[in-house]
Structure 1
Amino acid sequence: MRNSRESSSFPMFSKLSLHLFYPKRQWIRALFYLCIIMYVGLCYVSRKHLLPLARMLTNNKTIREVDNEHLKFTCIWSVVDRREKCKPRCGHGYFGLYGMTKCQPWLSCEEIDQLKMRGGIGHHGYVKEIWRSHWNTFPVVVKKLRRNDIAGIVGKDGYFKGIDLMKNFFQPSVLLQLVGHCNDVIVTEVHPLLDAQDIENRWKEYPTYNTVSTRLGMCITYVDILKVLQSGTDGKIYVQCDAPSLNKLTQQFLITEDFRLVLSDVDSIETILLNGTNRRLIKCTDWGELHGHFSAPEQLWPYNESFQADKMPLYDEKIEIWKIPDVCLFFLGEDPSAFLVKRSLKNIHKQCKNQDPRKRPSAEEVLQVYIRVLRDVVGTTMNVTLYSSQQDN
């Protein structure tokens, strides 16, 4: 009777589990075990991609700020190192690299002379040479003016003007961080993903992050940088003149380790001075006469006679707005998954391409549309950390 009661009280789910884990036919059993092994193997192989992706998706921001007594730190999730990295946020005349616990004064000439060059990095500039180096075990980049090259001689004034901008810009987070300078040598932080021209190669190296939200996020950071440059907070509006083509423009921006952008080449930045409602307009003539559809209409030579730089009409920052659609479509790429995003941006992009620069939207207006599309069309739950919302010390 006891055995009978035990048999009748045997849970039904236990019988079911016996059928699942011990099927009668051998081929079914072998197939079942093979599926389990493949599942465990897939989880093991993909764990290094899934974990950082989950970290990015669960974080509200790709950039995190940490307060430690009187010092603030900026922390990111690095796709290169697959871990969180932090660096101190420093005031004017100081720098902070990832892994540092405190800010350091800009490197002096004596310290820069001790740096050892360890090979070229990325695309060498037309005006400058670019080298790898280390300072106190921290990787840095050293840039030198091409002294014995005609390009260096011609671009010298812009090169030194770029150094002054990196030293004095009111919100340096949008620019490549300066580590030190001495005469015609500058030292900056490193961004191992290199410039935005090679973005498609970066997607191949880090396919987990090749998503519509990440691609649109790069459009957002690009327009956010324009917003900061054109805000006029310090009485000036900054316009990038070294961008006669899409290829050349994307070389001016570096990709950060959390797939954002930072402006790296400021040698050809022109300044619109603000004086109340008055503006001192600009013209970008370093490249001579411009052609094609990438440059804004007002940048093209309007007369039938031969081009003369001194007779070129002046214009303002709206030449940058004209280029936004081309840049964003470049970041979005040709993947079919971006179709809905492109369609949602069609109206604002049409406004950017208005022949009348006065009727083009501001960078702020474009930025708000991009953020809304990221939320409503892409459906991401991540908040966007904007350079323009950060308060640098």
Structure 2
Amino acid sequence: MKSKWRRSLLVCIFMYLSLLCILKDHLLPENIFGTQKKHTISPEQNFTCIWSVVENREICKPVCNHGFFGLYGMEKCHPLLTCADIKQLKLEGNIGNSGYVKEVWHSYWQKFPVVVKKLRKFDRAGKIAGPGYLQGINLMKNFYRPSVLLQLVGHCNDTIVTEVHRLLDARDLEIRFKEYPLYNTLQTRMQLCVSYVDILRTLHSGHDGKIYVQCDANHIQKLAGQFLFTEDFRLVLSDVDSMETILVNGTNKRLIKCTVWGEVTGRFPAPEELWPYKERYDASKLPLYDEKIEIWKIPDVCLYFLGDDVSTRQLKRSLKDIHKQCKNRNPRKRPTAEQVYKTYQTIYKDMIESNFSGFKERV
């Protein structure tokens, strides 16, 4: 009798430990936001997988080469949709975040949800912003960085088709955390800071002789609206209509000034973006600058993600030094995005290892 009882107990313990091994990466908030996993499901195709907070399960999509796309649930990559393919798409309904420049629609390609974006050709805003919109399409076609830019599914003239991100953009930060309170932790919020700077360091890398600078970001809500949440609470840049390019030749850079529809004001833009003269504003006389205008904004963006709860105070103190460097009025003395990223990563890891007060508590 005792022997049977012991065997039953051992079986139960084994099953319990096995279940923990299977679920530990999915049930614990501190494990959900680790690096995205890559699996080889077949010899011909690699897949990247995340834990979807929307579906509460792991979802996977194929890892594709330039000129192809892969959506969650697809078994293999598909060439970018052509004009003929896009004409077959049925527009299901207008999305609320359609802007002055473009209309945005829900649709389906085969059984997979996609987003269709069209330029507002006949509006004044559409005509003025048209060149930037078309330039943005070219950037999405040529700058193939799946973890940075919204994935392109297809394009035809001034129409583009992209993947769907159901958590929408970062303006809805607090709404998303109310919907998914289990994920409202310091780790998740700091992970968003890391994700944002990770995107900047890629755009600023200059590895192809170009540095990309997002110009349409004169206040925090405007900038937040240009980033979408992935379903594992990371960020992807979705709006590239106002991206300026700095050409790099060795240590030499061709400086830029952002094209805006009026004078830039306030504390969010970098000092070099502001009109420096007493005479009447004249955009043609604005001084030139470089990508360091985005470094100036990093502290404001990260503090936006961290929120105002008292549980963030210790983390904010840890970030104080690097944020002070970012806010140096001399652009040359500000750190690079790569340097900020490394510092953020160190603080993030220290936060996890030290497990300081409030880390596992909901913010």
Considering the TM-score relative to the shorter chain, is it more than 0.5?
yes
Aligned to 1:232: 206
The amino acid across from 1:64 in the alignment is: K
**Change in 2 beyond 3 A, CA 1:54/1:242:** same
| Alpha-carbon offset, residue 380 of structure 1 | 7.6
- What are the within-5 Å matches in structure 2 for residues 154-193 of structure 1? 154-193=128-167
| Alpha-carbon offset, residue 119 of structure 1 | 1.2
**Change in 2 beyond 3 A, CA 1:59/1:362:** same
- The unaligned stretches of length 5 or more in structure 1 are 1-49, 382-393
Aligned to 1:258: 232
Contact 2:37 2:50 in 1 (8 A): yes
Contact 1:112 1:182 in 2 (8 A): yes
Bigger Cα displacement from structure 2, 370-379 vs 163-172: 370-379
Matched, 1:116 2:97: no
Matched, 1:72 2:46: yes
Matched, 1:276 2:244: no
Matched, 1:309 2:304: no
The amino acid across from 1:157 in the alignment is: P
Count of residues paired in the alignment: 332
Instruction: Tell me, in whole angstroms, the C-alpha distance in 1 between the residues paired with 2:273 and 2:32.
Output: 43
Instruction: Tell me, in whole angstroms, the C-alpha distance in 2 between the residues paired with 1:242 and 1:336.
Output: 32
- What are the within-5 Å matches in structure 2 for residues 238-249 of structure 1? 238-249=212-223
Contact 2:213 2:243 in 1 (8 A): yes
Aligned to 2:320: 346
- The unaligned stretches of length 5 or more in structure 2 are 1-22, 356-363
Matched, 1:100 2:74: yes
Aligned to 1:322: 296
| Alpha-carbon offset, residue 96 of structure 1 | 0.2
Contact 1:133 1:142 in 2 (8 A): yes
Aligned to 2:182: 208
Instruction: Tell me, in whole angstroms, the C-alpha distance in 1 between the residues paired with 2:259 and 2:131.
Output: 15
Report % sequence identity. 63
Instruction: Tell me, in whole angstroms, the C-alpha distance in 2 between the residues paired with 1:122 and 1:65.
Output: 33
Contact 1:374 1:380 in 2 (8 A): no
1:126-181 deviations in Å (ceiling 9; x for gaps) = 20000100011100000000011111101000000000000000424300000000
Aligned residue for 1:233, secondary structure, equals coil
**Change in 2 beyond 3 A, CA 1:251/1:225:** same
1:102-144 deviations in Å (ceiling 9; x for gaps) = 0001111111111111112241122000010001110000000
Aligned to 2:195: 221
Runs of at least 4 residues off by over 3 Å = 50-53, 55-60, 378-381
Contact 1:52 1:83 in 2 (8 A): no
| Alpha-carbon offset, residue 70 of structure 1 | 2.9
- What are the within-5 Å matches in structure 2 for residues 370-389 of structure 1? 370-379=344-353
User: What is the alpha-carbon root mean square deviation over aligned residues?
Assistant: 1.6
Correspondence for 1:142 among 106, 113, 116: 116
Instruction: Tell me, in whole angstroms, the C-alpha distance in 1 between the residues paired with 2:315 and 2:305.
Output: 12
Instruction: Tell me, in whole angstroms, the C-alpha distance in 1 between the residues paired with 2:336 and 2:31.
Output: 32
Matched, 1:358 2:332: yes
Aligned residue for 2:94, secondary structure, equals coil
Bigger Cα displacement from structure 2, 283-292 vs 295-304: 283-292
Aligned to 2:27: 54
Aligned residue for 1:307, secondary structure, equals coil
Instruction: Tell me, in whole angstroms, the C-alpha distance in 1 between the residues paired with 2:25 and 2:86.
Output: 36
Bigger Cα displacement from structure 2, 254-263 vs 306-315: 306-315
Aligned to 1:290: 264
Instruction: Tell me, in whole angstroms, the C-alpha distance in 1 between the residues paired with 2:132 and 2:78.
Output: 27
TM-score using structure 1 length:
0.82
- Bigger Cα Rg: 1
| Alpha-carbon offset, residue 59 of structure 1 | 6.1
**Change in 2 beyond 3 A, CA 1:51/1:374:** same
The amino acid across from 2:225 in the alignment is: Q
Contact 1:166 1:172 in 2 (8 A): no
1:229-284 deviations in Å (ceiling 9; x for gaps) = 00001110000001011110000000000000000000000000011221111001
Contact 1:129 1:146 in 2 (8 A): yes
The amino acid across from 2:235 in the alignment is: L
Matched, 1:91 2:43: no
Contact 2:26 2:32 in 1 (8 A): no
Instruction: Tell me, in whole angstroms, the C-alpha distance in 2 between the residues paired with 1:237 and 1:93.
Output: 22
Aligned residue for 2:347, secondary structure, equals helix
Contact 1:176 1:262 in 2 (8 A): yes
Instruction: Tell me, in whole angstroms, the C-alpha distance in 1 between the residues paired with 2:183 and 2:32.
Output: 15
Contact 2:29 2:182 in 1 (8 A): no
Aligned to 1:369: 343
Contact 1:122 1:194 in 2 (8 A): no
1:71-121 deviations in Å (ceiling 9; x for gaps) = 211100000000000001111111000000000011111111111111122
Aligned residue for 1:313, secondary structure, equals coil
**Change in 2 beyond 3 A, CA 1:259/1:334:** same
| Alpha-carbon offset, residue 321 of structure 1 | 0.2
Contact 1:95 1:178 in 2 (8 A): yes
